[in-house]
A and B are shown apart, each in its own frame.
Chain A
Amino acid sequence: MEINLIIGLSTLAIIKAAPLVFGALCGLLGERSGVINIGIEGMMLISAFTTFLGSALFNQWTGGIFPTNLSLLVGLFCGIASGALIAALHAVLSIHYKIDQVISGTVINLLAVGITNYVANVYIDPTHLSGVGVFPTIPIPILSDIPIIGPILFSHQPMIYLMFILVIFMQYLVFNTPMGLRMRSVGEHPRSADTVGIDVNRTRYINVILGGIFAGLGGAIMVLESVGRFQKLMTSGRGFIALAALIFGRWTSNGALGSALLFGFSEALGVRLQFGDLNHIKVIVIVSGLALLGLGLFLLIKKIKEKEINIKKYITILILIVLGFTIMVGSNYIKFPSISIPIEFLGLLPYILTIFVLTGFVRRAKGPAAAGIPYEKQ
Chain B
Amino acid sequence: MKNNNIEPILKIENITKRFPGVLANDRICLDLYPQEIHCLLGENGAGKSTLMNIIYGLYTQDEGIIYVKGIEVEIKNPIDALRLGIGMVHQHFMLIPVMTVTENLMLGQEKTTGLKLGKLSKLDRSTVSAELQELASKYGLSVNPNAYIEDLSVGEEQRVEILKVLYKGAEILILDEPTAVLTPQETDEFFNILKLLVKQGKSIIFITHKLKEVLEIADRITVLRNGKTVGTTTPKETSMHKLAEMMVGREVLLNIEKGQPKPKEKVFEVSDLSVMDNRKINVVNGVSFFIRAGEIYGIAGVQGNGQKELVEALTGLRKAARGNVKLLGNDVTNEDARSLTLTGIAHVPEDRQKHGLVMGFSIDLNLILQTYFQSPFSNLGFINLDSIHENANQLVKKFDIRTPSIFTPVMSLSGGNQQKVIIARELNRPIQLLIVNQPTRGLDVGSIEFIHQQIIVARDKGVAVLLVSAELDEILSLSDRIGVMFNGKIVTEMNTSEADRAKLGFYMAGFSDEKMFHKE
Contact = CB atoms under 8 A, between A and B. Distances in A.
Interface of A: 172-173, 176-179, 181-182, 184-185, 188-189, 191-198, 369, 378
Nearest to A178: B110
Pick from A173, A176, A189 the residue with the most CB of B within 10 Å.
Answer: A189
Contact of B120 (A177, A192, A195, A196): A177
A181 B79 contact: no
Nearest to B79: A197
B265 to A, nearest CB: 49
Contact of A197 (B78, B95, B120, B123): B78
Given A177-B120, A179-B120, A196 B97 contact: no
Nearest to B56: A195
Interface residues of B, number: 29
Contact of A178 (B56, B90, B123, B168): B123
A179 B96 CA distance: 16
A177 B123 contact: yes
Pick from B79, B107, B110, B122 the residue with the most CB of A within 10 Å.
Answer: B107
12 contacts: A173-B120, A177-B112, A177-B117, A177-B120, A177-B123, A181-B110, A182-B108, A184-B98, A189-B94, A195-B56, A195-B78, A196-B78
Nearest to A193: B107
A202 to B, nearest CB: 12
A189 B78 contact: no
B95 A198 contact: no
Pick from A178, A194, A369 the residue with the most CB of B within 10 Å.
Answer: A178
A188 B123 contact: no
Given A185-B99, A188-B99, A189-B97, A179 B107 contact: no
B136 interface: no
A185 B121 contact: no
Given A181-B110, A193-B96, A369-B97, 11 more contacts: A172-B122, A176-B123, A178-B123, A184-B98, A184-B99, A191-B94, A193-B108, A195-B56, A195-B88, A196-B107, A197-B82
Contacts of A195: 56, 58, 78, 88, 90, 94
A181 B354 CA distance: 30
Pick from A172, A193, A196, A198 the residue with the most CB of B within 10 Å.
Answer: A196
Pick from A184, A197, A378 the residue with the most CB of B within 10 Å.
Answer: A197
Contacts of A198: 107-108
A80 to B, nearest CB: 19
Contacts of B168: 196
Interface in B124-172: 168
Contacts of A177: 112, 117, 119-123
A290 to B, nearest CB: 34
A47 B106 CA distance: 38
A192 B94 contact: yes
B121 A192 contact: no
Contact of B97 (A181, A182, A188, A378): A188
A177 B120 CA distance: 5
A178 B112 contact: yes
A178 B96 contact: no
B103 interface: yes
B96 A196 contact: no
B330 interface: no
Instruction: Please list the 7 inter-chain residue pairs (A to B) with the smallest Cβ-Cβ separation, ordered nearest first.
Output: A196-B108, A192-B94, A178-B110, A197-B79, A179-B119, A189-B96, A195-B94
Contacts of B121: 177-178
A2 B117 CA distance: 47
A193 B90 CA distance: 13
Given A181-B103, A188-B97, A188-B99, A197 B108 contact: yes
Nearest to A183: B119
A178 B117 CA distance: 10
B278 interface: no
Contacts of A191: 94
B306 to A, nearest CB: 26
Pick from A176, A185, A191, A198 the residue with the most CB of B within 10 Å.
Answer: A185
Contacts of A172: 122
Nearest to A172: B122
A181 B98 contact: no
Contacts of A176: 122-123
Nearest to B121: A177
B77 interface: yes
B512 interface: no
A197 B103 CA distance: 15
A184 B96 contact: yes
A188 B107 contact: no
Interface string B26-57: 00000000000000000000000000000010
